[in-house]
Structures are given as C-alpha cells and as structure tokens.
A and B are shown apart, each in its own frame.
Chain A
Amino acid sequence: MKSTLITNGHIIDPANGINRVGDVYISGGKVAKIDLDARLRKHPHDLDVIDASGLIVCPGLIDIHVHLREPGQSAKETIASGARAAAAGGFTTVVCMPNTSPPVDNPSVVSWIKEKARDEACVNVLPTGAITKNIAGEELAPIGSMHKAGIVALTDDGHCVQNHELMRRALEYARMFGLVVMDHCQDYNLVGKGVMHEGAVSTLLGLPGWPSVGEEIIVARNAQLAELCGTPIHCQHLSAAGSVRILREARARGVKISGEICPHHIALTDESVRDFDTDFKMNPPLRSQSDIDALIGGVADGTITILASDHAPHCGFEKEVEFDQAPFGILGLETELGLFIDLLVHKKKAVDLARLVSLFTREPASLLGLERGTLSVGAVADVTLIDPDLEWTVDKSASHSRSRNTPFHGWELKGRAVRTIVAGETVWKL
C-alpha cells in the first residue's frame, strides 16, 4: 500500500493536544507520523501528497446518532447510501440506531448489519442494540449476546423506556459489558400525540403540543438512575432548556450523564412549522429561541459534549401527507458539520474550532470506548479535511442519501468538509 502525506494543514487532534500546522504521514492505513516542523522539508517521491494548506486536518469525525434504515426500510436509505452521505459530510464513523425492521434486538441482526457494512459501506458503521425486545419497553433484549456480536451501545431510540424499574435494571445489566445506555428522552403520557413544540405557535395552529417537560422529566429520571447505578447514561438529541439545566447540575455532582444536540435544534424554532411543512417535523420538535440559547450555552460551558445529526431519511411520499400524519425526522449527515461550524463557531462563537473537533472526535470516542477519533501514531488513519471558511449552498438534489427530507435546502453555510479519508483511503472529496 502506497503511503500518503497530508502536508501543511492545520492539525487539530484534541486527544493529543495538537493544534498547529504540520504534516500527517499515513502508511499501511495507519497514522505513521505527525511532523510539526515540516515546512519546506523535501519528501520522498513514493508518497501520495495531499496539500492541505488552509485546511483543518483532524481525526475522522464520528456521528453517534444516525438511522441507516437497513434492514427493512431500504427505500428510505441503505447502509451503502447512508455511508456515502456520511463521507460527504466529513464523517468516517457512524453509529446506527436499532429501530430498523426487524429491529436490532438480537445478535443475528447485529451480524447482518456488520457484514453489510463491511461489504458495502465506505465509512465505519457501528451498530447499537435495543435495550428492550422489539423496542417495546417491556423486557430486556439479549444484551450480552448482542455485545458479543459487536454492538457499541444500547438504545431504544425513537422510543423511550417508560418503566423506570426496567430502565434501572438495564443500566445495571449493561455495566457488565461496559456498554453505555443512550436514551431518547420522552415521557409518553406528557407528550401524548404531540407533533410540535407546545407553545404559542402550537396554540395558534391547533396542532397537538409536545411540551418541553416531556423531555426534561426523563432527563431528570436518567440523572437519578445514573447516580443510583453509577453507570453512564447518554441523553440523545436534547432540545429543551430545562434538560441542559438538569444535565449541568447532575454533571457538577459527578453523575455519569452526558448529552448531545442536533443542528436543527439550534438552527430553527417552532415558528418554522407555521406553513405545516413536514420537513420541519422531527422528534423532539423544534423549540423556542430561549431553548436554542440554552443548548448553545450548554455546548459553550461543556455541559453538552456530543454533537450528532439524528440523520432520519424518509421517502418523499411518506413525508408528503398531513402534518400530524407524517413521520418524524430529517436528513442530517451532509449538513451537520456546516451548520455546526457556521452556528457554533462563526456566528455564536460558542466554541473554537479545536473544541468543535473534539466534540466530533475525542468526546464520542471516549463516551463509547471507540478506538477512533485520534491521530495518535499507530491509530487507524481516519482523517477529515475541513475548510472552515468555505461558503456553500445546501442543495438537496445533490444529496448522497436516498431521501430528500431536509429543511435546509438553499441555506448558505460557511464551513464544510472537503475530503474524507478512511483507513488511509480517500472515500470522498469535494
């Protein structure tokens, strides 16, 4: 295998505290050397040289919350198409959710996904397993067997275990395998048939409201259970100000609880739903400006440690129905990095680029115990090249996904990935 040199880029590798211009040598699919004093040095001729002048060179980005829809829903997305969308968004590793058809609640589905990913995916696809059988929230799934088959975390995403006792036992049981439990925080009684944020806009439109407290009460439950069990719990796609406050308070006490946010929850408010456009329907729903401010504040002060997309493809005909009948969810992988750089770094200045890279690499790798997210010598050479100042326009017709359900079509963003390298091989470039 030929060796590669990525030269003269601004290397950001939070795991090793590197944040300066230098060269990255890749050999045999692994990081061979990081040379920070390489300017004007002559290189051997048998190298593929990638000039990264003006670009960020960082560990391959990780998204721990995507729906790749296989098995069973390949009209929406396949592991192959979802992986291409990931690569085009700068991601080298994605963690896929278990709410497929059939769901990932047994080791054979885990093996099927791993095999399919190995054969067809251009990025690393890591499966999660359901907490409960059939994601029904009633009895534990075979967690030990799924762990053996290779899941990286547990979640009933799309659903939420309502029985607190069952959730407690899941946390205790998962501890044996070192598996993190990730939770979609939603109290079914409080949320009912809610399809949008409960507030002034839902009052005006007469659409059933999905109140913030429906999320916050489960985040509070999770904080208490994580404290009781001493086991980590990760709260997915947080949307409400109160959730950030509860998380901040619990983390200050040393409770092993973490949280993630998605770009749409800081880019859009419930005002967007006024035209009943189902591309603005997701779960949890778009909330208010004060929620956005709290979520961004949570990223800035370290309460929120994970950024994710909740990439949720749906067919056009499925979305083109009455608002309350439409499925929840939007595409995310290809717009995620651009939105977060644009909003968190350029516009709100909540974090710098080094911290942003950490939120996409070191933090998720550390949460799930993945041997990724670093440019340490000997590590697998998953690398993303980012132009943080590149101005571009989102065009859904150019998406690599099989679906087109994005609310961001036509948005002008600043910052995007320009090349994605998995194990030393370029899998996508602009």
Chain B
Amino acid sequence: MELQTSTAWSRKDLLGIEELSVGEITTILDTSAAFKQVGVREIKKVPALRGKTLVNFFVEPSTRTRTSFELAAFRLSADVVNISTSTSSLTKGETLKDTAKNLEALHADIIVLRHSSAGAPKFLADRLQASVINAGDGAHEHPTQALLDAFTIREKKGRIEGLHVAIIGDILFSRVARSNIHALTKLGARVTLVGPSTLVPRTFEKLGVAVTHDIDSIIADVDVVNLLRIQHERQRKEYFPSLGEYTALFGLTKQRAENLKPDALIMHPGPINRGVEIDSDVADSGRSVILDQVTNGLAVRMAVLYLCAGVEK
C-alpha cells in the first residue's frame, strides 16, 4: 500500500500529543483514513510491518486498548507478544529499565506501553532503540485515544476547527482529557471542561480551555460531548460525595440530551457506566458515536505503528 502523507513523519516514538505539531497530527489522521479502508476489505491485512516484532507491555490492566493495538499489529502483519503486570518480572522487583532492555535484547521493534506512572514511556524511549508507543501513562497522556477521538469528530463533522467540544467528568486524574485538550486546541476547537470543582480545578485554564461546573449552561451550545468514565473508589471519596450526586449534577441524562443540538456527537472512551455519567438509552442513541470510536481506534493505531516503525533508527 502506498501512502501519501502531508508532513514527513520523523518520530520513532509517540509519547504524547503535547509535543506534536498540527501537521504531524494531520499526518496521522490522514494515514488513519487510508488504513480504515483496509478494515472493510475481504482480506483485512497488509504486509507493512511484516517481520517486525511488537510487544504490548501493559503494566496496568487494560482490555480494549491492548486488544486494539494487538489487532492493529496483526493487520499490519507484525508479530505480537503480550506482557501484562501479572506475567511481567516487575512483580519480582525487576526495574522498568531492565525489563525493557531484556525486550530489546529479544529484538523487539515496537513497545506499546501502558503504565501507571506519568512519564514512563518517555523514560523507555530515551533508553531504547525500539519505537515506544504510549498507550496511557498515569494521568499524563493517552495519545492514541485523543487521535481516534479527533479522527471520529473529523469523520462525522467534516472538520474540527471552530467546533465547541465539552469534556465532562474526572478531568484531574484523566490522561484522556489531557491528550484531548492538546489535540483539540491544536486543531482549532474550542474546549470546555465540565465537572465538580474538585476534579476540574481552574489551573486547567492555563492549557487554553474554559472550565465550568454547570453542565446545563453549555449543553445547548456544544457540537461534541466527550464523557469520561467516572469512578468513586477510595481515593475519590474526598472529591465528590456519591455517584448519585454526580449523575444529578453532571450526568448526560435523557433530559439533558434533549437540550443538545440535533447533530451533536456523544463520545465516550469506554468502558461506560450506564446510568452514571451517561443514561443507558442515550448511550445507544443515534447521536452516540461510541462504537465508531472503537472502530476508528484500530485504524489510528495502525497508522501510528506504521509511521513510527518506519522511521530510520
């Protein structure tokens, strides 16, 4: 498959959206569009990464992101190995550096890393010849999620520039929110963060976005709502009193969904909590593009793997 890209791609790693130029983001999105065509063919496989070895190194649990990267690698004809926390030597006290050096000694070409520590992918990228793809690091970045979100918006709306996007939920602890903020503001969207004042502190305004704690004040104005999964485990109990109160104040209920523009998109990175951040019927409604996001994620990850692995090391 021959791909024409608008900007030369020169990064061996994808660590975050913050450091990417608009041209680089556009290159990934354009490449993704080409790869999306592969997914609807009878033979869903191209030989782009034949002979390359990809390691899915997941130090934090994940099903959908890992599966998506795995399928993306299969479709590019790469060989794939999965390593998760329970099977890795990290539980035996081996350092991240040593584990990664061992993977490199086995000639891994691409390492897809999910890790609970912000900065862990950069730590690896600085030390390894292999390409490092960030599949989510702590509360820092989740670049492929933001790229697939941007791809989905562009696909459905035909543009991103000038759109008003609301990101709703636990922003403080969310890597998805941070990567989305970078991607959307770079691409010219207007972003409003919505959620409890404890989880959406005003410091986020320094990233070039608006902050509100009143979802109803913006719901009729937005072109896209991106709902983040809200959790109420132990460390969140100091941030808001209950899921019930959260739903009452910030949930995308049927009533609120009625106030959305008719062509507004409803997005969610998953897994969704039906009846908490989003009403169950709303999640399944015509404006919901949640499953399109999943499909597009595959194309975006193929593009990212293809571009990064193609850079001369």
Contacts and interface: CB of A to CB of B under 8 A. Distances in A.
Interface string B113-127: 001011110110000
B203 A205 contact: no
B96 A321 contact: yes
Contact of A322 (B119, B141, B175, B201): B119
Contacts of A44: none
Interface in B121-150: 122-123, 137-141
A203 B193 CA distance: 14
B119 A323 contact: yes
A206 B207 contact: no
B117 A322 contact: yes
B95 interface: yes
Given A320-B97, A322-B117, A203 B204 contact: yes
Contacts of B118: 205-207, 276, 323-324
A207 B116 CA distance: 10
Nearest to B59: A322
Nearest to B18: A204
B172 to A, nearest CB: 8
A321 B140 contact: no
Contacts of B123: 276, 321-323
Contacts of A276: 118-119, 122-123
Interface of B: 18, 95-97, 115, 117-120, 122-123, 137-141, 173, 175, 178, 201, 203-204, 206-207
22 contacts: A199-B203, A200-B203, A200-B206, A203-B201, A203-B204, A203-B207, A205-B118, A206-B173, A207-B138, A207-B139, A207-B140, A276-B118, A276-B122, A276-B123, A317-B95, A321-B96, A321-B97, A322-B123, A323-B118, A323-B123, A324-B118, A324-B138
A46 interface: no
Nearest to A325: B117
A205 B179 CA distance: 11
A275 interface: yes
Nearest to B175: A206
Nearest to A320: B97
A281 to B, nearest CB: 11
Q: What 9 A-B pairs have minimum CB-CB distances, sorted nearest first?
A: A276-B119, A206-B139, A322-B117, A206-B140, A203-B203, A206-B118, A200-B206, A323-B119, A324-B117
Majority secondary structure, B binding face: mixed
B156 to A, nearest CB: 28
A276 B141 CA distance: 13
For the side of the interface on A, what is the size category?
A: 10 to 19
A323 to B, nearest CB: 5
A205 B172 CA distance: 11
Interface in A189-207: 199-200, 203-207
Most chain A CB within a 10 A radius of its CB, from B119, B175, B201: B119
B178 A204 contact: yes
A206 B139 CA distance: 4
Nearest to B117: A322
Most chain A CB within a 10 A radius of its CB, from B137, B141, B203: B203
Contacts of B207: 203-204
Interface of A: 199-200, 203-207, 275-276, 317, 320-325
A204 B178 CA distance: 7
A243 B118 CA distance: 29
B96 A322 contact: yes
Contacts of A325: 117
Nearest to A273: B119
Contacts of A207: 118-119, 138-140
A274 to B, nearest CB: 10
B250 to A, nearest CB: 20
A322 B140 contact: no
A205 B117 contact: no
Contacts of A199: 203
Nearest to B142: A206
A8 to B, nearest CB: 51
Nearest to B174: A206
Given A204-B178, A207-B138, A322 B203 contact: no
Nearest to B178: A206
Contact of A206 (B97, B122, B138): B138
A430 B41 CA distance: 74
Contacts of B203: 199-200, 203
Given A206-B175, A321-B95, 16 more contacts: A200-B203, A203-B203, A203-B204, A205-B118, A206-B141, A206-B173, A207-B119, A275-B122, A276-B119, A276-B123, A317-B95, A321-B123, A322-B117, A322-B120, A323-B117, A324-B117
A34 B118 CA distance: 58
B121 to A, nearest CB: 10
A316 to B, nearest CB: 11
A320 B206 CA distance: 31
B150 to A, nearest CB: 19
Most chain B CB within a 10 A radius of its CB, from A199, A276, A325: A276
B4 to A, nearest CB: 34
A66 B139 CA distance: 34
A200 B123 CA distance: 22
A27 B302 CA distance: 79
A209 to B, nearest CB: 9
Most chain A CB within a 10 A radius of its CB, from B118, B120, B122, B173: B118
A310 B229 CA distance: 42
A314 to B, nearest CB: 14
Given A203-B206, A206-B118, A320 B95 contact: yes
